[in-house]
Amino acid sequence: MVTETYHVPAISCGHCVMAIQRELKALEGVVDVKADEQTKQVTVTYQEPATPDAIAALMEEIGYPIAERLN
């Protein structure tokens, strides 16, 4: 299992947090998602078949592109 944290500048409110958590948790292989509107960070714990590319593509698709990977 892998845990990665991303900086997502587009997070601005609780609705953003809920949308990100809902969408990423629906991605096969994603085990846990924590998003924070204050730090604009999203931490994702995942295993196969989820991949960093799949996570980034989904974030882009839902309007919250990843600016950088923090770890």
In percent, how much of the chain has pLDDT > 90? Answer: 99
Dihedral pair phi/psi, residue 70, rounded to 5°: -95, -15
pLDDT tens, residue by residue, 7-21: 999 999 999 999 999
Q: Where are the domains of the chain?
A: 2-69
Nearest to 40 by CA among 16, 22, 56: 16
pTM above 0.85, yes or no: yes
User: For the residues 43-48, what does the mean pLDDT come to?
Assistant: 98
Residues paired with 68 in a beta bridge: 7
**pLDDT confidence of residue 36:** 97
Q: What is d(CA 21, CA 43) in angstroms, rounded to the nearest whole number?
A: 10
Which residues touch 38 (CB under 8 Å, ≥6 apart)? none
CATH architecture, domain 2-69:
2-Layer Sandwich (3.30)
**pLDDT confidence of residue 71:** 85
